[in-house]
Amino acid sequence: MNDRRLERVRQVMRRVEDIDVDDACERMSERELDEVLTYHWPIVVRRVMADGSDEWLKGFVRSIARHGKRPSWTPTLKQEQIMRRLVSELGTEPSKEIELIEG
């Protein structure tokens, strides 16, 4: 595992713990939620599952992926904030690591 990536996930987790719902910005629009779940969340899930993140974070990203499939589901305000933070930290830039599989 890449040490830089692991440190980055740890930084995200520290920021997630600091989120205060009272400091909330505007709610996610239906369009933003669709974009996050369709384009960014699969990247977030792959990175979190691959980099040795803690069990809470792994459970959170899996839970959002599972609930996001339900048409009537909308995240809570705290979930939205965590999702935005994870997408901004993990779900936007392509992975620069190449893993060779020898056969």
Q: For the chain, what's the residue count?
A: 103
pLDDT (average), residues 9-23 = 62
Q: Which of 24, 1, 2 is nearest to 85 (CA)?
A: 24
CA atoms within 13 A on the CB side of 24: 13
pLDDT at residue 16, as a whole number: 63
Q: What is the rounded average pLDDT for all residues in the chain?
A: 80
How is residue 97 written in tokens?
């690591």
Give me the pLDDT at residue 40, please. Answer: 92
DSSP string, 33-96: HHHIIIIIHHHHHHHHHHTT--HHHHHHHHHHHHHTTSTT----HHHHHHHHHHHHHHSSSPP-
Tens-digit pLDDT profile for residues 46-72: 988 888 778 999 999 999 999 999 989
> 20 or 46: whose pLDDT is higher?
46
Amino acid 102: pLDDT = 72
pLDDT for residue 9: 67
Q: Where are the domains of the chain?
A: 3-19+27-90
